[in-house]
Structure 1
Amino acid sequence: MPRHLRILAPAALLTATLIALIAGLSIGGAGAERALLDPGTVVRYGNPIARTLVNVSMAGLIGSLVMAVWALASEKRETRIAMDFAAGSAAALTISSGAVLMLTYVDISGLSFSGDAAFGAGLAQFVTEVELGSLWLIELLLAAVTTVLCFAIRERRLTLVVLVAALATALPLAQQGHAAGASGHAQAVNSLLVHLVGASVWLGGLLVLVFIAFAVERTRLAEIVARYSTLALFAFVGVAASGVVSAWLRLGQPSELFTTGYGQLVMLKTGSLLVLGVLGAVQRRRLIPRIATTNGSRAFAWFVTIELAVMGVASGVAGALGRTETPVSLEPARDQGSTISPAEWLTGDPLPPELTAMSYVTEWKFDLAWTLVCVFGAALYLAGVWRLRRRGDAWPVGRTIAWLLGMALLFYTTNGAFNAYEQYLFSVHMLGHMMFTMLIPLALVLGAPVTLALRGTEKRRDGSWGGREWIMWGVQTPFSKLVTHPAFAAVNFAGSLWLFYFTGIVRWAAVEHLGHQWMIIHFLISGYLFSLSMIGIDPVPYRFPYPLRIVTLFATMASHAFFGVTIMTGDNLILADWYGAMGRTWGAPPLEDQNTGGGIAWGIGELPTLALALIVAMQWSRTDAKEQKRRDRAEDRSGDAELHAYNEMLATQAKRDARLR
């Protein structure tokens, strides 16, 4: 491996990034002097440069940690290099975030940087009262905490904690891409989050490969690159899909791709991503098999340098896009002085048409993040089934159907009419809630994904941990033993409903995008754990005996029914300033609609629980049948020795009783 690669490859990335950024600022017009309140050349160019450094350093942080967790052996030097690179990237992220925070304040306030009290007081107000300032302060603090964790933690399993902290640094950046209350805010935030994480894994993973290449043999490098290539493929799909969604939300019409600076930058970034896709395909098909040879390793070095240069172009253009005015305004409609409906004032989106039976087919509100979860979930499951079949192992078709049905239901619930109307109608919200917490988990549990993953993934023998190793560790942790215990799962399943709807959590989930995503994830997990503890095929540390499972199910059904009746008969409107203030002229009045939602929780919500009870009864019956067959086979082998011994014991006792009389 050429020694100069460690200098040449990062230099190519940074140089291409800077050139593309400056050119992009010129194309988009963000680098031009402003007619009013111009902050000066230093701020006009310094702010996007610092913001681009934030993106690159975050990529180095997340990409290196993902590689350390998934592709590298923890006891070898390769992991130490990756963790050192992550620590350096986290420190760079902290510094660049602080720079952006300061430059953004100078830009918005129109003040020159100084050390006087007025400047400090204004900065304090900016980070505590202005959403943009608060987000950059959170970003700075998260980056600082992650930096400390990167230096302090090097143990394999605790590296997951560092990775979670690193992924959290993407959240404040994703929330900045679209103003809260603006149309399409939820879709934009999720799309940008997918884009940031995908680009980070893609770029950061390739960067860390440059430094690992000198610490491993060529055969080992080929193995690591192959694992990175798989990650890069998923990242490419996410980045490409999220790029399309982001452009669609920000471009008013296709002609603006050619007539606006923003559109021209979108085309440049699209071109660079297409080139990267071609390079990735070449790497996967032709380069990886040749890395183990001398010529192949040199070709890999130059290939990586070119790929990083193209990634630099994409990063620079992305930085310019972030500073370029979009054809479609990203400001909330309520801040634009136009007359809007109460629903649009509250949610940022126009009130949808009247809900009818056909609306459940015709109305859609797509969410890229959950779409990718469903697509990747179905694809990985089918890949596991295909791998089993290829080696001659069977996998029940019913399990595959159940999993795909669960993914289809999850896709519809997060992208269809439920997602389009749940902000405006409590009844639709409750219907979607029952899908998340009951029906979807039931189908997914019947798919037995953990069992498939354990059978379909190969055991790593190089000291690294893949899917099999992480799953084996995960199901044996004390935390897993706690959350999968039937008692905990039942209390969590039943109690979450009461805590959610009768505390302030329901407001957080309705008003805040992050709260809504938490709601989906939490109730999917709570429902999954409960179904797993009752009817699951996947391995868990403990399950109740069948009679106790039936008792637990009926107890949760009673709690669920009581919850539904409480909502259905209540006289107080939940979130009156939300559901009661939408200004709907169609549909049932808010309180009547809420009572309908309670009926859904009581009636329709009980159907999946009843299905659980039936499945438990069927499993109990099958278990008894299997036990009886086992006993019959044992008796056939022993010639009913146990029965003869029992009869002889009774005869002996009868003779003894006769003598005593």
Structure 2
Amino acid sequence: MDQSSAVSVRRAGAPAVLAATGALAVLVGVAFSGTAAAVALGDPGAVVRWGLPVVETLTELAGALTLGALVLAVCVLPRRAPAPDAGDRAAREPRPGAAVADGGAYARSLVVAGVAAGAWTLLSVVHLVLAYASVAGSSPTSPGFGDELALFVTQIDLGRSLLTLTTLAAVATVLALVVATPTGAAWAAALVVVALWQLGQTGHAAGAASHELATSSLFLHLVGAAVWIGALGALALLVGRLGTDAAPAVARYSTIAAWCFAAVALSGVVNSIVRLGGWEGLGTRYGALLAVKVVLFGVLGLLGLVHRRRTVPQLVGGRAGRLFWRLALVEIAVMGAVSGVAVALGSSPPPVPDEPSADTSPAYLLTGHALPPEPTGLQWVAQWRWDLLMAAAAVAGIVVYLRWVVRLRRRGDAWPWLRTVSWLLGMLTFLWTTSGGPAMYGHVLFSAHMVQHMVLAMVVPIFVALSAPVTLALRALPGRSGQLSGDASRGPREWILTLVHSRVGTFLANPIVAAVNFAGSMVVFYYSPVFEWSMRSPVGHLVMVVHFSLAGYLFVNALVGVDPGPTRPPYPMRLLLLFATMAFHAFFGVALVGGQSLLAADWFGLMGRPWGPSAIRDQQLGGSVAWGIGEIPTVVLAIVVAVQWTRDDERTARRSDRRADRDGDAELDEYNAMLGRLADRGSGPSA
């Protein structure tokens, strides 16, 4: 067998190894846990009992391969630039001696994504059928099964979720096969992430304790594992087409894999704590399966470390095939085993069962959490309920920002320490707002919710805008064209520039649009069903946090920021825009103070609090909070604008002085000469 044939066999064997090890591991796992044993009543049959976990494993692996291949197209694989026009051909000529991007695997990665998404869709259909058969305790061949299945996918939450997931997989199939650019691949990848979010909502009973923490940790786990496993599987399929792109592609994947490792580890620890309930849970069959998964996960981490330190540097020499496959095939096999064990864990009853809590208080029935104690100054600091996604984002933001600062300092570039302090304060404030007292009480008190909203929209953005994260990123991140000549792929720096200079980004960053969005969206939010949706749905809450944090940043950045994007108006116009926006903001607060109609009445009005003011009185207090908190950031922003205005005048004066020293103040002399000519012209006729 020649070398090309061997590479083709290896490429075809990668998904087979992944599927085979996953199926074998899940069969061993469910046999060990006993979840596939026959039951006396409502037994769906051996095909369903044993087939469901296998199909579920294969479905998740197909979804992972889909997302992984799309991630490669979004930000990993080198991509050849389009043929240049005659005018800029010289500018795009490869540098002498520089490595040139091949780009041969880029288009194929989208084909891999499309085929994997097609398999994902078909497996999702089979999974849907077997899932209902297991829930109903009936065989798919039993009479009336089809009619019952139709009711399941239209009337039952689990059925609707699985049908939505199948539909999203089908749409992703079409989208992956028709797109050809990193932007199109990013939209397709976002669709797959939405599908994984839908899958994460089915992994924990809605009425069980710690539901939000369990589902958010499961979502983070699914996305991290899917990108990690899927991208490596896709690279294995494409290795024969990488050519000279092997070294940069694997190096870029290695960085992503490190972040995925951290995400999977963090979410796995949180999910284990929620489901084990204590150290005694490790003595159960569920605990034994979890221990196996942890060991396999540790092996994956070691293999990844070896890849990063030994294989990646050697790929520069061009020996892509053998070096990559030396560890990749073993890593893929272990990944398949981990996926199988994970599905077996999900199919097994945990030590802490997913059962509804015995708490039947109105607050618990509405929020899913026990009513917190009456808020005091100490409780605002002591009460915490972790939002895993927001907490992970804050910690990752701190780590990435500090790494960029260190990178600048190592190459001798300065970065103001006040900006670093501002970023740290912003992230810590964001962490407290989304997981501390404001998050705890914001679900039961309108006034506390308004505190959370105002801090997210007006306090955190000031810290973030003054820390200039976009400017730091553009200075610290290397460009793709500098790494590989002719490479038109998008790394983090290119994606930031694309977003900043896109039509949507330019429109939203416009100071007037940013001000209208900042003030107007608040009215739309509170006086529409979106407000109650953000209370009842984790997705709605996430949308609220992201929207108002981003809207606040765009508004503040247009006024006092240094990050690129907006065309900032003169300083007097900035002050006028600030005070006009804050006046509208104050009017909103006054309207709440005097209002007698309760917003989200089915939520705050039914909370059943034994402490604190009535719901309508608390809402009026929330209006005072909106008015009062808005005043302090307004004053801070006005001071910053005034200081920047003064410094700008001083810089202009210094430039004028330097110019006068150079040319003898020719501009003033010319101005005086012009006045003299005008005076002579005015006195001519009378003379």
The TM tier, using the shorter chain, reads over 0.9
| Matched residue type, 2:200 | A
Give the secondary-structure state (helix, strand or coil) at the position aligned to 1:135.
Answer: helix
Q: CA deviation at 1:114?
A: 4.7
**Within the alignment, does 1:386 sit opposite 2:412 as a pair?**
no
Which residue of structure 2 lines up, in the alignment, with residue 326 of structure 1? 350
Choose the corresponding residue for 2:310, options 286, 289, 299.
286
Task: Tell me: CA distance 1:639–1:202, structure 2 relative to 1, closer, same or farther (3 Å).
Answer: same
| Distance in 2 of aligned mates of 1:96 and 1:89 | 10
Task: Tell me: CA distance 1:64–1:614, structure 2 relative to 1, closer, same or farther (3 Å).
Answer: same
Give the secondary-structure state (helix, strand or coil) at the position aligned to 1:216.
Answer: helix
Query: Is the 8 Å Cα contact of residues 13 and 312 (structure 1) preserved in structure 2?
Result: yes
Which residue of structure 2 lines up, in the alignment, with residue 648 of structure 1? 673
Give the secondary-structure state (helix, strand or coil) at the position aligned to 1:475.
Answer: helix
1:17-56 correspondence to structure 2 within 5 Å: 17-56=22-61
Q: CA deviation at 1:124?
A: 2.2
Choose the corresponding residue for 1:207, options 224, 230, 233.
233
Query: Is the 8 Å Cα contact of residues 11 and 238 (structure 2) preserved in structure 1?
Result: no
Choose the corresponding residue for 2:597, options 572, 576, 598.
572
**Within the alignment, does 1:455 sit opposite 2:497 as a pair?**
no
Q: CA deviation at 1:115?
A: 9.0
Task: Tell me: CA distance 1:86–1:593, structure 2 relative to 1, closer, same or farther (3 Å).
Answer: same
Task: Tell me: CA distance 1:272–1:622, structure 2 relative to 1, closer, same or farther (3 Å).
Answer: same
Choose the corresponding residue for 1:270, options 294, 297, 313.
294
| Distance in 2 of aligned mates of 1:640 and 1:423 | 65
Between 1:191-200 and 1:469-478, the stretch displaced more is: 469-478
Task: Tell me: CA distance 1:548–1:110, structure 2 relative to 1, closer, same or farther (3 Å).
Answer: same
Q: CA deviation at 1:278?
A: 1.2
| Matched residue type, 1:263 | G
**Within the alignment, does 1:67 sit opposite 2:72 as a pair?**
yes
Q: CA deviation at 1:534?
A: 1.1
> Gaps spanning 5+ residues in structure 2: where?
81-102
Task: Tell me: CA distance 1:230–1:650, structure 2 relative to 1, closer, same or farther (3 Å).
Answer: closer
**Within the alignment, does 1:309 sit opposite 2:333 as a pair?**
yes
Query: Is the 8 Å Cα contact of residues 198 and 236 (structure 1) preserved in structure 2?
Result: yes
Once superposed, what is the RMSD of the aligned Cα atoms?
Answer: 1.8
Q: CA deviation at 1:433?
A: 0.7
Between 1:570-579 and 1:397-406, the stretch displaced more is: 570-579
**Within the alignment, does 1:164 sit opposite 2:184 as a pair?**
no
Which residue of structure 2 lines up, in the alignment, with residue 606 of structure 1? 631
| Distance in 1 of aligned mates of 2:440 and 2:307 | 41
| Matched residue type, 1:288 | V
Q: CA deviation at 1:288?
A: 1.5
Give the secondary-structure state (helix, strand or coil) at the position aligned to 1:31.
Answer: coil
| Matched residue type, 1:367 | D
Q: CA deviation at 1:589?
A: 2.3
1:73-112 correspondence to structure 2 within 5 Å: 73-75=78-80, 76-112=103-139
Give the secondary-structure state (helix, strand or coil) at the position aligned to 2:601.
Answer: coil
| Distance in 2 of aligned mates of 1:139 and 1:589 | 42
Q: CA deviation at 1:414?
A: 1.5
| Distance in 1 of aligned mates of 2:320 and 2:538 | 48
Superposed CA offset, 1:257-303 (max 9, x none): 11x22222111111111111111111111222223458785243131
| Matched residue type, 2:371 | L
| Distance in 1 of aligned mates of 2:448 and 2:127 | 42
| Distance in 2 of aligned mates of 1:482 and 1:557 | 21
Task: Tell me: CA distance 1:294–1:635, structure 2 relative to 1, closer, same or farther (3 Å).
Answer: closer
Q: State percent identity of aligned pairs.
A: 44
Which residue of structure 1 lines up, in the alignment, with residue 246 of structure 2? 221
| Matched residue type, 1:579 | F
Superposed CA offset, 1:585-617 (max 9, x none): 122222222222111100013211221122112
Between 1:586-595 and 1:37-46, the stretch displaced more is: 586-595
Query: Is the 8 Å Cα contact of residues 430 and 460 (structure 2) preserved in structure 1?
Result: yes
Give the secondary-structure state (helix, strand or coil) at the position aligned to 1:169.
Answer: helix
| Distance in 2 of aligned mates of 1:9 and 1:643 | 76
Q: CA deviation at 1:627?
A: 1.4
Q: CA deviation at 1:492?
A: 0.5
| Matched residue type, 1:271 | V
Q: CA deviation at 1:112?
A: 3.1
**Within the alignment, does 1:196 sit opposite 2:222 as a pair?**
yes
| Distance in 2 of aligned mates of 1:363 and 1:398 | 30
1:242-641 correspondence to structure 2 within 5 Å: 242-258=267-283, 260-293=284-317, 297-333=321-357, 338=358, 340-461=360-481, 462=484, 463=487, 464-641=489-666
Query: Is the 8 Å Cα contact of residues 105 and 123 (structure 1) preserved in structure 2?
Result: yes
Q: CA deviation at 1:459?
A: 1.6
Give the secondary-structure state (helix, strand or coil) at the position aligned to 1:255.
Answer: helix
Query: Is the 8 Å Cα contact of residues 239 and 320 (structure 2) preserved in structure 1?
Result: no
| Distance in 2 of aligned mates of 1:434 and 1:657 | 61
Query: Is the 8 Å Cα contact of residues 29 and 261 (structure 1) preserved in structure 2?
Result: no
| Matched residue type, 2:459 | L
Q: CA deviation at 1:352?
A: 1.8
Q: CA deviation at 1:541?
A: 4.5
Query: Is the 8 Å Cα contact of residues 74 and 156 (structure 1) preserved in structure 2?
Result: no
| Distance in 1 of aligned mates of 2:365 and 2:677 | 90
Query: Is the 8 Å Cα contact of residues 78 and 245 (structure 2) preserved in structure 1?
Result: no
| Distance in 1 of aligned mates of 2:617 and 2:680 | 78
Q: CA deviation at 1:452?
A: 0.9
Task: Tell me: CA distance 1:226–1:127, structure 2 relative to 1, closer, same or farther (3 Å).
Answer: same
| Distance in 2 of aligned mates of 1:601 and 1:646 | 52
Task: Tell me: CA distance 1:23–1:634, structure 2 relative to 1, closer, same or farther (3 Å).
Answer: same
Which residue of structure 2 lines up, in the alignment, with residue 235 of structure 1? 260
Which residue of structure 2 lines up, in the alignment, with residue 141 of structure 1? 167
| Distance in 1 of aligned mates of 2:367 and 2:356 | 10
| Distance in 2 of aligned mates of 1:147 and 1:119 | 28
**TM-score of the aligned structures, taking structure 1 as reference length:** 0.95
| Distance in 2 of aligned mates of 1:468 and 1:107 | 48
| Distance in 1 of aligned mates of 2:631 and 2:155 | 45
Task: Tell me: CA distance 1:632–1:339, structure 2 relative to 1, closer, same or farther (3 Å).
Answer: closer
Query: Is the 8 Å Cα contact of residues 81 and 211 (structure 1) preserved in structure 2?
Result: no
Which residue of structure 1 lines up, in the alignment, with residue 153 of structure 2? 127
| Matched residue type, 1:401 | V
Q: CA deviation at 1:224?
A: 1.3
Question: Number of matched residues?
Answer: 654
Task: Tell me: CA distance 1:341–1:653, structure 2 relative to 1, closer, same or farther (3 Å).
Answer: closer
| Distance in 2 of aligned mates of 1:263 and 1:620 | 63
Query: Is the 8 Å Cα contact of residues 48 and 139 (structure 2) preserved in structure 1?
Result: no
> Gaps spanning 5+ residues in structure 1: where?
none
Between 1:219-228 and 1:285-294, the stretch displaced more is: 285-294
Superposed CA offset, 1:121-143 (max 9, x none): 32222112211001001101111
| Distance in 2 of aligned mates of 1:26 and 1:102 | 22
**TM-score of the aligned structures, taking structure 2 as reference length:** 0.92
| Matched residue type, 1:211 | L
| Distance in 2 of aligned mates of 1:245 and 1:295 | 41
Q: CA deviation at 1:655?
A: 4.8
